[in-house]
Amino acid sequence: MTDLSTEIPAALVARIQQLAGESAPASKLNAAQEADLITRIKAELIKQNAVMIVHFYVDAALQKLADDTGGRVSDSLDMAAFGAAHPAQTLVVCGVRFMGETAKILSPEKRVIMPTLKAECSLDLSCPATEFAAFCDANPDRTVVVYANTSAAVKARADWVVTSSNALQIVGHLKALGEKIIWAPDRHLGRYIQEKTGADMLLWQGDCVVHNEFAAEALVELKRQHPEAAIIVHPESPKAVVELADVVGSTSQLIRAAVRLPNETLIVATDNGIFYKMQQAVPHKTLIEAPTSGGSTQCISCAHCPWMAMNGLENVLAALEHPAEHEIHVPETIRVNAVRSLDRMLAFSRDQGLITPRS
Ligand code: 13P
Ligand code: SF4
């Protein structure tokens, strides 16, 4: 037994909320400003042999630009695989810092730049590397599985990295081998995987400021108003919300479910940045945001990640014009360990057909 707790100290919770509140969203632009920035970004991408890799939660203008320039809009597993396989010399990663770090860990020979180096993730912040290492040391009989939403140093301490696209399969595989698990940092995703696989898991108690706010009671009421709708939910959401879901899955799995389900109306419990790609995939269907607790004056995120919202056309151009100020660095001593757990995840995912060999 250990006397170390996986509870997040109140001071750290307060700090995370403060950082979320302080994050400044990208500025609103008029059509002429957007057009000018897009022209300049396209020219820089060609000049610098660079490619954009954009998460589904990022502003639609960046998603469209990535599509138009041969880049990728995707979930965190596919972003990692795409960046590692792409021949470009510079990867412009639009998302939050752990996504840029993952790209750099997998491709140390490439320059990895981000529109802002201040785009945090509450899960990453909730799991400081030193405290996490002490927790692992106190439980040496357990295999260490961490979510991709963690720092490079936490990945370096892990045996496996997972994302919400492959966590069920990887933990199921470890359980079949008889391994007991340390899981960090998302308590909701961890509990979901634990219930699905029956694995013996010690759970770190972090959560996502966006998904933690989805509200089950209000969702029941919304479903009462739209009985024909299917409810689709990202597994970072609380148990009571997941239990109401017709489909639970990662961002790309939710988009595929929107296509597959016969329902013409979908209630979507994940960051509303996903609506751009989801609506493209099902142009004739009605998409409704799942309700969050509190109104816009009370909730921290109101279904949009405050750090994803920092990415905009202006800072994409700034990153390309001043790459040194926007570059991701991962110390080699950390990288050589972190790449082991990431490579293990990618190899397993390829074997299982969860990513295609060239993606
Ligand atoms: P996905 O891997 O499903 O894209 O999720 C990443 C994330 O940060 C969700 O909040
Ligand atoms: Fe992290 Fe949540 Fe933002 Fe995803 S949505 S990057 S888990 S804070």
Q: Are 46 and 308 in contact (CB under 8 A)?
A: no
Q: What's the whole-model pTM score? A: 0.96
Ranges under pLDDT 50 in the chain: 1-3, 359
Closest atom, ligand 2, to C-alpha of 236: 7
Q: Tell me the residue length of the chain.
A: 359
Question: At CA 271, angle to CA 321 and CA 240, rounded to 5?
Answer: 155
> What is the distance of C-alpha 150 from the center of its chain?
10
Minimal-distance CA residue to ligand 2 atom 3 = 305
CA of 270 from ligand 1 middle (Å) equals: 9
Closest atom, ligand 2, to C-alpha of 123: 1
What is the predicted pLDDT for the residue at 297? 66
Minimal-distance CA residue to ligand 1 atom 3 = 250
What is the predicted pLDDT for the residue at 3? 47
Q: Are 152 and 162 in contact (CB under 8 A)?
A: no
* 296 vs 228: CA distance, rounded Å: 27
Q: What is the pLDDT of residues 32-75, one digit of tens each?
A: 999 999 999 999 999 999 999 999 999 999 999 999 999 999 99
58 pocket-lining for ligand 2 (C-beta < 6 Å): no
Question: At CA 34, angle to CA 28 and CA 282, rounded to 5?
Answer: 85
Q: Are 129 and 157 in contact (CB under 8 A)?
A: yes
Structure tokens at 307: 């750090």
Structure tokens at 172: 């199921």
What is the predicted pLDDT for the residue at 5? 74
What is the predicted pLDDT for the residue at 296? 63
Question: Which ligand is the nearest neighbour of the Cα of 80?
Answer: 1
The number of beta carbons lying within 10 Å of the beta carbon of residue 349 is 23
What is the predicted pLDDT for the residue at 302? 87
- Tell how strand 286-289 and strand 111-113 pair up: unpaired
CA of 272 from ligand 1 middle (Å) equals: 12
Find the residues whose C-beta lies inside 6 A of ligand 1: 75-77, 149, 163-165, 208, 236, 250-251
Minimal-distance CA residue to ligand 2 atom 6 = 121
Strand ranges for 49-172 from DSSP E = 50-55, 72-74, 90-94, 111-113, 143-147, 160-162
